[in-house]
Every structure is written in structure tokens, then in C-alpha cells.
A and B are shown apart, each in its own frame.
Chain A
Amino acid sequence: MLHVVGLAKTYLTSQGPLPLFSDVSFDIQPGESVALMGESGCGKSTLLHILAGLEQADHGQVLINQQDLTQLPDRQRAQLRRHYIGVIFQQLNLIPSLSIQDNLAFQARLAGNLDADWLQHLVSTLGLAALLQRYPAQLSGGQQQRVAIGRALLAKTPLLLADEPTGSLDEANAEQVMALMLTLIKETGSSLLMVTHSALLSTQLDRTMILKQGRLS
């Protein structure tokens, strides 16, 4: 599903170049779930953003569906993201001006693959039925994350990239959201790469990668 080869990224700072990581290579198979761990500031989120086509790498390849994301112009990267990648951030995932119903359906409608039955199923499973007419600002953090997961899954993208999706939630909420996400991912057969600090969460996934001192292990 995802083939990453020799990825490198360096930030230019006022103190000089700051290498984040180099020669990062790995694969994620269809349906596989992978945890990405590492210390704060080691470049996990940057790596995830590069994989999502939101940021450019200095070197290397990111192959999704046989297309090298790093070689595509902005417009085609956006097209690829729309059809193949679901992104879930730690917070502020939702479009504040749209209702929850419209937020849920947004990416699926962009990709032209909105499935009404699947929407009903997700709404009911994620417990969002009573919230559909509300707006993001009227929801709690846990409710917002459930909507973000629902949006990413509704588009049925083969790859989900999640950047600490439960990082801003309390323990009970985090467990509930995580459980729902993993159940639904199994139903869709999507692959998952999740940045997390939690060793407990990582044990629920198929495998764990650790980014340390610019190298992946």
C-alpha cells in the first residue's frame, strides 16, 4: 500500500540546518496498522505530513498506489490525498463553518464516493446521530475526534494517517475513540499509520516503528 524509500528532511533554522531524519524507508501492507513512536521533536509529525503530501521531503520517494507523491505537483498531490489518504490530526480536524453532517461527508463527496449506507453505519457506530446538525464548536474534544475518524473512514481511503488522534483526550475517551477507530478500520480494510506517544496504544496495532536520532528502527 505504502512504500517509502530513503526519505530525508532537514529544516533550515537561524542556527543553521537542523536534520530531522534521513534514509527513512519502510512499507505498510494493505490492512496493516503501524504505530510510529519517538521523542517529542524527533520529526514524527513531519514524516506523517510528508506522507500525506502536505509537506515536501528533501530526498526520497513516497509511493502510494504506484505513484511517487514527492514528484507530483500540488494539484495532483491534493487529488491523490482526496482519493487515497485520510488524515486525522490531534485536534482542529473539522471545518468550523460546516455542520457535523457536512463535515462527515466532505471528503467522500469530494472524492465522489459517498456511500449512504456506510454513512448510516458510521454515524450509528460512532454515536453521532444526535449531533449531525450541530457545528464543531458545539462539540466536545472526544466528539470532534469521532467525527474526524468518521470523515476519514467514510471516504474509504486505503491509507489512514493519524497524528496522535487521542492526544488531546482523557484516558476513558481516548480508549473509546481508539477502539472505535480500530474496529472500523478492520471493517474497511484500510492501512493505518498512527503517530503516538502511548506504548499501550501501540500494542493494539500490528507493529511499531520508532524514530530516534533521525533513523527509523
Chain B
Amino acid sequence: MWVLHALLSHWLRHPVQLGTFMLGLLAATALWSGVQALNQHARASYDQAASRFSSINQAQIVPVNQQPLTESDYIMLRRLGWQLTPVVEGALPNISAGDTLNIIGIEPMTLQHGGVSSAADTGLPSTFSLTRFLTPPWEIWVSPATAEQIKPWFDAAVQTGFPYNPDGNLVNLRVSSSIADNEIITDIYLAQYWLKQPDQLSRLLLLDTNTSKTLPAELSAHLRVVIPQSDYDISRLTASFHLNLTALSMLAFLVGLLMVYSAIHLAMAQRAVLRRILFSCGVSQRALTFWLLIELLLLSGLITLPGLTLGYWIAVLLLPDFSASLTGLYGASALGELTLSWQWWLQGLVIAWGGVLLAAIVPMVKLISGNTSLSQTRSNAQGLDHPALLTGAGSICVLLALGIAWFGESLFSGFLLLALMFISAALLMPATLNACLRLGQRCSRSAVVQWLWADARMQVSHLSVALVALLLALSTSIGVGGMVEGFRNTFTGWLDQRLAAEVYLRIDDEAQAQQVDAWLLQHPDVSALLPSAGIDSQVAGIPVELRGIQLHSTYSEHWPLLSSTPDAWQAMADNAAVMINEQLARQLNLKLGDTLPLSGMQQTDFKISAIFSDYGNPKGQVLLSLATLQRNWADTERGSTALRVEPTAVAELISALTAQFSLNETQVIDQHAVKRYSLQLFERTFAATNALNVLVLLIAAIALFSSLLTLSTMRLRHLAPVWACGLSRRYLVGTELLKLLSLALLTALLAIPLGLLISYCLVAVINVRSFGWALPWQFFPSQWLLLTMAALVSAFLAAIIPVLTLQFTSPSSLLKGFRDEQ
């Protein structure tokens, strides 16, 4: 225990080192565990959704041809031996603008008897009572957030519709945190009542694994069995999103760990004398190793709990944007309240301890073997420890990265490429800085300038860890920032092109749609009515959507084509060609002029006349003329209709339409509203990324600050001889500041090419492998300038305290410090 006491006393005498250690570990643990909390929570939600009512992971029977699925159909199929459970779902009508509340009606008896799901799988807790669920006054289950949202409805004066049952009584409100936000789960009978769909069902989930049965002839005309498609697996679709966040949090963890390493390295080096004394007092190497490990575990244990708590709060703060991104991008259910498992806490503890041990292993081995001393650590005038080893390892990483860039094809290899780029940059950066400074020293003539370069080189060896952290943070910001900014530019332009029509109509009821069309054709402000239709199909075994559009100059003038033949639109009008989206082109390696075989059509061969960009669509799409689609396929579903309207008459038309046909705002959509929503979604998608980015930069700035603060006590040894030779203190203060700003500037300059490489890797490799489409690689010099300024400001703030100390400490104190050094 006395050995531990002696070891711990070091930290009390060096509070800045202790602070660096704790802050680094706190930041590393918090950011890593925060993102992991979000990922874990999202995955749990996907699993829950998949085991429950997911429309995309479950084999099911759905209605087609605008025919309803009725309870009679369900009963017939049950009698024929089909293991099914019915689901009724729909948006709750008459709610305030911007809100969506989905009612999901289930039939728990068949769900349970199906043997596939249990009450817990439906998201309902173990306290769920079948009797209360199925009998008056019935009950509804919602998440805590949704419960808050719908509470006012329980006090409403009008006692009809939701949340009153057909008897006019209020239903019981039950809350469960395992239910997604904006979802109301209730008995199927109540759902039909509130959605005004008596006897109608939305779909039938197939509970047995045998999905090869054929529907009876009398049902096959209006029902279809849909087999889950792996391409629509939410976990797979969202994998890249989670991987992206995990990679960023890993980077933040790494940057935090660099701070920890920096503190431990110095602490171990300064204990060379203590080691000698302990050995001379009879402490064995093994005992010293043991107590050093205990000390590290003790210190990291103290920090892990606050780190995990901070991580939890970061996750809570990011959850709304995170949830909105997943919902908007992939249609994944909105995530409810954050709940964490014991595995998360354990994982956090293990990662924190593992990280500390990883950071400590080399300095600790050096101390125990007596391979280090403070003088060695301080005196490397060549600027670096083991430069050849670092450069060699960095070069190997570069070669590996080149190999992966050439041969790798998977998403994982894309992220590995990114990781290798970071690692090689971290390994090569100190040597590169050193070479730049040496060149500066050689080119200078004045004694003071030569000393400045030489001293900066020496500082690089002490600050290299902090500078590497700054390099990684800056290059990530340049890379990710460039990608996001480029995406924003492209996306905004693409939206303008793609949403060229002023108003979009979506009416599922064919009879009503025809009435609306007739009314619109008579309207003086409507210059064109451009209906569309779609159907799901397959090309070479890959699910695609065939979308037919009525050809019009609106499309030929605005549609965002990446490449096209000269007569692309005319060829489509002549039924000879189709256009495909970039995702499909990349997936099947299709080029302009290739023939696209479309099964199930009378005419099967179409030339590809154009490839268009289709951001955010996870699925392949084939665009053809509406006439061609309808001629070849009878089962098409009416899609949205684009209206060309005199811009000044849009608002008037929308209000007239909604009044005339009782349409709601989900059926009549203003182009501006769609754009606004899309851009909002875009911003929210990158909100978590941007927040992590800023946090990584912040940690890097803190790492630089703490390194400088730690080093400031050792700088006198370097400055005293120069001072004695006739340079004033104010001059030395100026040179200190200049040196640190120069190092930060050099680091920022090195971060720009690295950031551009990262940006290229993101837009041309990761993005393509994640989503199937590429983005143009764009440069944003203003962003580089801003980040360079941020690096300089960080360095200035980090340097200011040590520099002010030098400026304002009395000469006697400085000399006392110098004498203490001696």
C-alpha cells in the first residue's frame, strides 16, 4: 500500500497532469459511450419493430388494385389454414399540423397463438393484460412522450372519436417506454372505429415460415403476398449511418486517449527517480508493475462513472435529431425514451480501462525496465523519439491504404481505408512537421530565427501527441464538413430540379382522383397535370420501382440527369428507352445504351437513355413513360400528380382544392413545403455528425492546452540560456507565442490535404458503398480558412496561460525555477 501511496503522491504534486489524464479519459468515455448508447437504443428499436409490425421485414398479405382487404378475406384465409394476424393502421385524422400519430390496431390472441411473437415482442410490457386490452373500455398503449402529447385530448369537450370508445367512454391510457413515439397501439376494433374503416384491415402478417403458399383465385385479384426483401432490412440500411457515427466516436475516443497517453507518458518519465528509490527500498519489478496497474485502474475507475453519465446526457441531447434522421432517411420508427442496458455500462467500463491500459503500456514498460528518464524525454534535440520507426510504420499504413483503395469493394474496407489514412497521418505527421521545421532552420541566416526553428522542432517532440490530435480533428472537420457542404449544395440544386412542379397531389381513392383531375383541368391557373404511376418489380433479381411519368417539358427541362444520350427524352416518349437512377446503374454496372431487361412486360427490352441522380432513395428506380407502363402492366398504383400552376395562384388553388374535396395537407403538397421538410431533414441528419465534429475539435484544443500547460514548467530550461545571452523576456514571450501559432498553422496546412482525401473517400467510396450514389467532390476554401483560424485561436488560447506566466512571473521566481531545474 505504501508503494501505491508513493505512486499516487506524484499526481498530487502534478495537478495539471492529473487534470489532463482525467479530462482526456472523461471526454473519450463520454463520446464513445454516448454514441454507443444511441446505436444500441436504435438497434433495440429496429429489433422491436421487426418482431412487431414491420411492413418491411415480415412476410405479409397486402391489398392491391385499390381494393380493400376485409375481415371476410381474413376469415377465409384462416379457414384455409393460413397462420395470420391482422393489422389495422393509419394516421389519426384531424390532428394539428406537423404532428403525426399512427394508430396500430392488433389482435393479440392470434399474435400470441402464432407462436412467433409474444406480448413483449409487440412492445407491450409484461404488465399487459389481455382482458383489459380486449374488453371495454379498452386501452391504448403509447410512449411517455406520446402520452404527454395526447393528454389534452382526454380533456376535450367533444366526446366522440379518439380517445373515446364507441360507447362514449374514455379508453384507459397506458404508457410503456418500449413503444416508439407517435405510435398508439390498441385493439383492432378500436383502430377500425377511430380510422373510420369498419371491417377493413390494412394487412395480414404471415406467422408461419412457409411463405410459398398461393392465394386462392377469388382473393388473388385484390390481394398479394409480399415476401420480405433483404434490401429493405432496416438494420442493413441504417448500418452505414451507425458505422459513420461509430467511426466519429472512435475518433473522439482516440483523441481523448491521446491526452491520456500524453499525461501518462510524462508521469512515467518523471518517476524515474521514484523507481530507483523504490527498487533500492526492496520493491520488486513485479510489485511495481502490480501497483502501477492498480493505480491506473483506480484513477480510470473514478472517471469512468462520470464519463458514462456524461455519455448518457450527450445521447439524450442528440436523440431527437438522431431519431428524426433515422425516421426521415430510412423510415425507421421514431425512437422513444432512451433506455440503457447493463451491457452498455459494462462495455463503457471495459473500453475505458482498455483504453487506459493501451495508452499506458509503452510508458509503463519503459519505466519498469528503466529505459526512460526525464532528461531523455526532454532532450531529444533531433525533435522526435524513434523517427525511423514512426516513419516506417506510417509508410506501411500508406501502402496498406493504397492496397485497400485499389482492391477493397465492401463498406467495411471503405471504413478501414479511412482508419488507415488517419493512422498513417498520425504516424507521419511528426516527421513531416520536423522536416518542414528543419528546412526552415537551414534556410534562415539570423541566429534568433535559427533558434526559433530549432526550438520549435524540439517542442514538436513534446507536443506531437497534442498536434496529432489537432491534425485528426481538423482533417475530420475538413473532410466531413466538405462532404456535408457538398451534399447540401448538390441536394439543394437537385431538389430544385426534381421538384419543379408547384403542387403535388396524392390521392389513393381512384374515383376521387378522377374527380379532382377533372376539376383541375377546368381550373384556369393550372397549366399542366402530370400524373404518375408506379409498380414494384425486379431487374436481375434486384427489387426496383418502375415509375411511369407523363412526359412534359417540366421533366425534360429540369430532371437532374447525370448522363444522357442526346435524344433521351424523345426515346422515352417513343417507348424505346427508359432512364434509371444512379443506384441501379452502379448496382448492375449499367451504362448508357445498355439494354435493360424488364420481366413481366410485353415489351421487355429497353435501351438506357439516361442515368439520373436520386439522393436518399435506397431502391433502384426505372423511369419510363406513363403510357408505356400502363400499356405493359395493368396493376399500376396511382402515384403523385404534379401540377404546373401559376406561382402566384398556388395558395389559392390549394385552399380551393382542400375545401372542394375535403383533402388534407398530406394529400395536397406545396412544393415549398416539401423542400423545406427535405432541407430540415437534411440538417437534422447531420446534426449528430456536426455535434460530434465540434466536440472532437474541442477535445483536441483541450489536449493542446493541457500539453502546453504541462510543458510550461519545463520551458525555462530551454529559455534561460537564451535569456542570459541577451534576449529580453518580452521578446521570448513573443517568440513562444509565434512558435506555437506556427506549429498550429503548419498542422492546419497539413490537415487540408488530409481532409480533402478524407472528403474524397467519404463522397466517392463510403457514400457509394453505403447508399449506391456518389456525390461530386467539392472544395470549400472558406471552410479551410475558418478551420485554420479555429486552429490558430485554439493554439493562442492554449498558449496564452503559459506565455502570460512567463511574462508576468517575477524574475526572481523565474530564476528560482531555473535554480530548481539545476
> What residues make up the interface of A, taking CB atoms closer than 8 Å to B?
11, 45-46, 49, 52, 54-56, 74-75, 77-83, 85, 87, 89-99, 102, 105-107, 109-111, 135-137, 151
Please tell me if B410 contacts chain A, counting CB pairs below 8 Å.
no
Given A55-B812, A92-B721, A92-B821, answer yes or no on A74-B726 (Cβ-Cβ < 8 Å). no
**A80 vs B725: C-alpha distance when bound (angstroms):** 10
| Contact A77–B455 (Cβ < 8 Å) | no
| Contact A110–B724 (Cβ < 8 Å) | no
| Contact B727–A110 (Cβ < 8 Å) | yes
**A45 vs B819: C-alpha distance when bound (angstroms):** 10
| Contact B725–A110 (Cβ < 8 Å) | yes
> Can you report 26 residue pairs joining A to B where beta carbons are below 8 Å apart?
A46-B812, A49-B815, A54-B724, A75-B731, A78-B728, A78-B729, A87-B724, A89-B720, A89-B818, A90-B822, A92-B721, A92-B821, A93-B724, A94-B721, A95-B455, A95-B718, A95-B722, A97-B381, A97-B455, A97-B457, A97-B718, A98-B451, A106-B725, A107-B726, A109-B446, A136-B379
Please tell me if B240 contacts chain A, counting CB pairs below 8 Å.
no
**A200 vs B811: C-alpha distance when bound (angstroms):** 32
Total A-B pairs, Cβ < 8 A: 110
Shortest beta-carbon distance, A74 to chain B, in Å?
5
In the bound complex, residues from chain A placing their C-beta under 8 Å from that of B818 are 89, 92
Q: A78-B731, A89-B724, A151-B725 are in contact. List 13 more A-B contacts (CB 8 A).
A: A54-B811, A77-B728, A78-B727, A92-B818, A95-B454, A95-B718, A96-B379, A96-B718, A102-B447, A106-B447, A109-B446, A135-B382, A137-B375
| Contact B724–A52 (Cβ < 8 Å) | yes
Given A89-B822, A95-B721, answer yes or no on A83-B726 (Cβ-Cβ < 8 Å). yes
Could you tell me which residues of chain B, from 144 to 189, have a CB within 8 Å of some CB in chain A?
Answer: none
In the bound complex, residues from chain B placing their C-beta under 8 Å from that of A95 are 451, 454-455, 718, 721-722
| Contact A82–B726 (Cβ < 8 Å) | yes
Choose one: A55, A87, A98; the contact of B811 (CB below 8 Å).
Answer: A55
Please tell me if B723 contacts chain A, counting CB pairs below 8 Å.
yes
In the bound complex, residues from chain A placing their C-beta under 8 Å from that of B724 are 52, 54, 81, 87, 89, 93
**Interface bits B793-822 vs A (CB < 8 Å: 1, else 0):** 000000000000000000110010011011
| Contact B721–A93 (Cβ < 8 Å) | yes
> What residues make up the interface of B, taking CB atoms closer than 8 Å to A?
375, 378-382, 446-448, 450-451, 454-455, 457-458, 717-718, 720-731, 811-812, 815, 818-819, 821-822
In the bound complex, residues from chain A placing their C-beta under 8 Å from that of B723 are 54, 78
Q: Give 3 closest A-B pairs by Cβ, nearest first.
A: A82-B726, A137-B379, A109-B447
In the bound complex, residues from chain A placing their C-beta under 8 Å from that of B379 are 96, 135-137
| Contact A110–B381 (Cβ < 8 Å) | no
**A74 vs B720: C-alpha distance when bound (angstroms):** 15
Given A54-B811, A98-B454, answer yes or no on A74-B381 (Cβ-Cβ < 8 Å). no
**A135 vs B382: C-alpha distance when bound (angstroms):** 9
Residue of A nearest to B445 (CB): A109
| Contact A92–B726 (Cβ < 8 Å) | no
In the bound complex, residues from chain B placing their C-beta under 8 Å from that of A99 are 381
| Contact B721–A56 (Cβ < 8 Å) | no
Given A89-B822, A102-B450, A106-B725, answer yes or no on A97-B458 (Cβ-Cβ < 8 Å). yes
Residue of A nearest to B448 (CB): A110
For A46, A54, A74, A87, the residue with the greatest tally of chain B CB atoms inside 10 Å of its CB is: A54
In the bound complex, residues from chain B placing their C-beta under 8 Å from that of A92 are 717, 720-721, 818, 821-822
| Contact A75–B730 (Cβ < 8 Å) | yes
Residue of A nearest to B458 (CB): A97
**A123 vs B483: C-alpha distance when bound (angstroms):** 59
Residue of B nearest to A138 (CB): B381
Choose one: B451, B717, B720, B730; the contact of A106 (CB below 8 Å).
Answer: B451
In the bound complex, residues from chain B placing their C-beta under 8 Å from that of A93 are 721, 724
**A175 vs B380: C-alpha distance when bound (angstroms):** 30
For A11, A49, A95, the residue with the greatest tally of chain B CB atoms inside 10 Å of its CB is: A95
**A96 vs B727: C-alpha distance when bound (angstroms):** 16
**A96 vs B723: C-alpha distance when bound (angstroms):** 14
**A46 vs B812: C-alpha distance when bound (angstroms):** 8
Residue of A nearest to B452 (CB): A97
Residue of B nearest to A103 (CB): B721
Shortest beta-carbon distance, B382 to chain A, in Å?
7
| Contact A75–B721 (Cβ < 8 Å) | no
**A136 vs B375: C-alpha distance when bound (angstroms):** 11
Shortest beta-carbon distance, A161 to chain B, in Å?
9
| Contact B730–A74 (Cβ < 8 Å) | yes
Residue of A nearest to B720 (CB): A92
Residue of A nearest to B726 (CB): A82
**A74 vs B717: C-alpha distance when bound (angstroms):** 20
| Contact B725–A82 (Cβ < 8 Å) | yes
In the bound complex, residues from chain A placing their C-beta under 8 Å from that of B455 are 95, 97
Shortest beta-carbon distance, B732 to chain A, in Å?
9
| Contact A136–B726 (Cβ < 8 Å) | no
| Contact A107–B725 (Cβ < 8 Å) | yes
**A102 vs B725: C-alpha distance when bound (angstroms):** 13
**A74 vs B729: C-alpha distance when bound (angstroms):** 7
| Contact A98–B450 (Cβ < 8 Å) | yes
In the bound complex, residues from chain A placing their C-beta under 8 Å from that of B721 are 92-95
Shortest beta-carbon distance, A179 to chain B, in Å?
24
**A83 vs B725: C-alpha distance when bound (angstroms):** 9
Shortest beta-carbon distance, A12 to chain B, in Å?
9
For B717, B726, B728, the residue with the greatest tally of chain A CB atoms inside 10 Å of its CB is: B726
In the bound complex, residues from chain A placing their C-beta under 8 Å from that of B722 are 95, 106
**A85 vs B730: C-alpha distance when bound (angstroms):** 19
Residue of B nearest to A94 (CB): B721
Shortest beta-carbon distance, B134 to chain A, in Å?
82
| Contact B381–A135 (Cβ < 8 Å) | yes
Shortest beta-carbon distance, B244 to chain A, in Å?
42
In the bound complex, residues from chain B placing their C-beta under 8 Å from that of A91 are 822
Residue of B nearest to A75 (CB): B728
Residue of B nearest to A111 (CB): B726
For B450, B457, B721, B728, the residue with the greatest tally of chain A CB atoms inside 10 Å of its CB is: B721
In the bound complex, residues from chain A placing their C-beta under 8 Å from that of B718 are 95-97
Residue of A nearest to B723 (CB): A54
**A97 vs B448: C-alpha distance when bound (angstroms):** 12
In the bound complex, residues from chain A placing their C-beta under 8 Å from that of B446 are 109
**A90 vs B720: C-alpha distance when bound (angstroms):** 13
